[in-house]
Chain A
Amino acid sequence: MATLNVPLRPKLNGAKSSGASTKAVILVGGPSRGTRFRPLSLDVPKPLFDVAGHPILWHCLRAVAKVPGIREVILVGYYEEQVFREFIKDTARELPKIKMQYLREYQALGTAGGLYHFRDAILKGGPDRFFVLNADVCCSFPLEQMLKVFEDKDAEAVILGTRVSNEAATNFGCIVSDPESKRVLHYVEKPESHISNLINCGVYLFSTETIFPAIKGAIKRRADRPRLVSYPSAENLESSFLDRLEEGEKNEVLRLEQDILSDLADSNQFFVLETKDFWRQIKTAGSAVPANALYLMKAFQQQSEELADPSANILPPVFIHPTAEVDPTAKLGPNVSIGPRAVIGPGVRVKESIVLEDVEIKHDACVMYSIIGWNSRVGAWARVEGTPTPVGSHTTTVVKAGVKVQSITILGKDCGVGDEVRVQNCVCLPNKELKRDVANEVIM
């Protein structure tokens, strides 16, 4: 096992100097993950999928670039190198002060394993602390507030948390914190029973001095004793040990959530910043629609000039790419993004939807709660429709007549919907022609 050589720096007394340096790591995942983002991830890696006119990853980067003092961002994942080459080039032009590089894991190491694997690159230049962002969250990223907590509390780790409904909480990492000091007392990933409704947003700020020894400690413990799948009982004592150790190469798979955070909760200097602002995971393809809405809303509140001007036929917020053609009699919004070169015909209605590049929507068609994939065509008087999910909901399915169906209708790349055809609560894989009405189906 590699020995850890963390350059220990003398700890500064009291408030850390504002000159302390900060980096950011964005965990982008890889192609074998993101399967829940199908059918869209069949054609574009999830971090590069456009919501509110920009790739999901761009929204993270923009937030990072706003933090004074961050000059370097490292993307960690296991996509092939060229996947992000173009994106990095474009972003470098837009954010010239930020140095960005992509580090590829050749095998999936887990979120903590990846950080540890690339520790030399992260530690280069001797940063005092670094942010870790999961690329698949849609969030206002209050990074400066996290930094303030970090400095005020002299913290070793700060996690971003948000409140969800009690029923939803067990699908996430749950945080128990001291209500006064905001210190994290306990952390459990996806508990079976109710622990807390304050959940992990997937955004962290770590002291370099703390996190790498913590990961190293976890690796050591992993080697010393097999990890328990669950607390053993007489019935499952035999099967409760993972046989990971037998497959030696997987030994390095370590996840921040399961393997590190609960141990950090034992330390005194782990704090939570509870955000009251929006937060949404982008897991399923359908969750791109609420994410699109949240980022558009944010841009609208910040009076972004990118958005289309409100009018009788534009209900804000609406993003229309400058190269798209929208007939003046089409009514768009709220929460609509129209991609490059899309053509929206007369009398078309689009609401709560993402329309991607080169899509054509013919006259009098109606598109709601849907994603129209690249180069797809929607016929005249067609109706492509999903179902609204309640505000603050963290699911993208609805139950219709006792059956769970996708709330958002998604057309993959190069799909066609015939004139007057209705498509409701369907997911349609690429290159399909829909000539008859369909509802509540996955179309292969």
Chain B
Amino acid sequence: MKALILVGGYGTRLRPLTLTLPKPLVEFANRPMIEHQVESLAAAGVTDVVLAVNYRPEVMEGALKKYEEKYNINIVFSVETEPLGTAGPLKLAEKVLGKDDTPFFVLNSDITCDYPFQELAEFHKAHGEEGTIVVTKVEEPSKYGVVVHKPDHPSRIDRFVEKPVEFVGNRINAGIYILNPSVLKRIELRPTSIEQETFPAIVKANQLHSFDLEGFWMDVGQPKDFLSGTCLYLSSLTKKGSKKLSSPKEGYVFGGNVLVDPSAKIGKNCRIGPNVTIGPNVVIGDGVRIQRSVLLAGSKIKDHAWVKSTIVGWNSSIGRWARLENVSVLGDDVTIGDEIYVNGGSILPHKSIKQNVDAPSIIM
């Protein structure tokens, strides 16, 4: 089987992290976002993956070489010379996606969930029509595009309603699809939207179905949602009884959902959790309190610091008795001085912070 991952542009919404690494390589729960997706695709029997990008970072090609071997798949880059939207990249990759009659997966690179590729493919084959989109239930459908079904059919889609004022349904497009190669004929090679143009056309032909996603779902394209998505992902690991998580019997674990790389070091009298990921070679001092945060590789949290709702970038250092909170994001190699307070600071790489950041702001 085949798949296309829509990576797109520079990932500016996830800056300052994406100033250092392309978005698909930023570690989510200690592994690059793209690896979660590639692994799930390979497990569902996918052999060819197209990465649709509109820039070409060499660092990404190097990283993905490893995955070709590790998961025994072919990965090709499809590079847009101008951004082609969400449908154009499919046309651009027609040679791979249309090389045989089997359907192909399409997914947004920002989505985290329990990827249901196997079941999705089976469901798609069972109804035998052109396309299936994964949908997820949300509490506030008025913020999204809502999927409305045919009255006489549980999965066939009747129409899409963008940001409905009155309740028409609570299932939204989750950004994961499986499509027959015939769909490629519906797309022109120009900047075009799969949601706005391609899907309405398939709906018109009564050929588009929805597939309900079980469990959590989150678009983690920006820091606030990256943290929320991490919480959901860790909770799902807990629910599955995953051995990857630190045992609640560990003295430092507080409230569960704590994922620690084996190479990380944790000092005495710490209280860590809930919802914390600690990357490789992280060093945590004594008396440190961390909750709802992501500590990327090589970062260092010194004694008595207090960290909440913060993404600590690679190789960054947080001083003693410092306090960070409210979706603070530190880029690569940032230094927060001893006793400093950071409230919602977005701090660009290689900065050294010696004064409090009292209100959410970007430190250039």
Contacts and interface: CB of A to CB of B under 8 A. Distances in A.
Do A and B actually bind? Answer: yes
A383 B359 contact: no
A16 interface: no
Given A346-B269, A346-B287, A385 B306 contact: no
A401 B359 contact: yes
Which of A368, A383, A439 has most B Cβ within 10 Å?
A383
Contact of B321 (A349, A380, A387, A420): A349
B354 to A, nearest CB: 12
Nearest to B320: A349
Interface in A394-425: 400-401, 420, 422, 424
B269 to A, nearest CB: 7
A363 B325 CA distance: 20
Contacts of A400: 358
Contacts of B288: 364
Contacts of B320: 331, 349
B303 interface: yes
B149 interface: no
A383 B304 CA distance: 11
Given A349-B304, A400-B358, A363 B269 contact: yes
A363 B287 contact: yes
A381 interface: yes
B304 A364 contact: yes
A275 to B, nearest CB: 32
Q: Classify chain A's interface size.
A: 20 to 34
Which of B269, B304, B341 has most A Cβ within 10 Å?
B304
A347 B302 CA distance: 12
A381 B286 contact: no
Interface in A339-398: 346-349, 351, 363-364, 366, 368, 380-381, 383, 385, 387
Contacts of B286: 347
A346 B320 CA distance: 13
Interface residues of B, number: 18
A366 B358 contact: no
A420 B309 CA distance: 14
Contacts of A424: 341, 358
A379 B356 CA distance: 22
Contact of A351 (B269, B325, B339, B359): B339
B323 interface: yes
B156 interface: no
A349 B285 CA distance: 15
A420 B306 contact: yes
Contact of A349 (B271, B325, B339, B341): B339
B307 to A, nearest CB: 10
Contact of B323 (A380, A401, A422): A422
B183 to A, nearest CB: 51
A381 B306 contact: yes
Nearest to A363: B287
B289 A366 contact: no
Contacts of A422: 323, 325, 341
The 4 A-B residue pairs with the shortest CB-CB distance, nearest first, are: A347-B287, A364-B287, A366-B321, A349-B321
Interface of A: 331, 346-349, 351, 363-364, 366, 368, 380-381, 383, 385, 387, 400-401, 420, 422, 424, 439
24 contacts: A331-B320, A346-B287, A347-B269, A347-B286, A347-B287, A348-B304, A349-B304, A349-B320, A363-B287, A364-B287, A364-B306, A364-B321, A366-B323, A381-B289, A383-B306, A383-B323, A387-B356, A401-B359, A420-B306, A422-B323, A422-B325, A422-B341, A424-B341, A424-B358
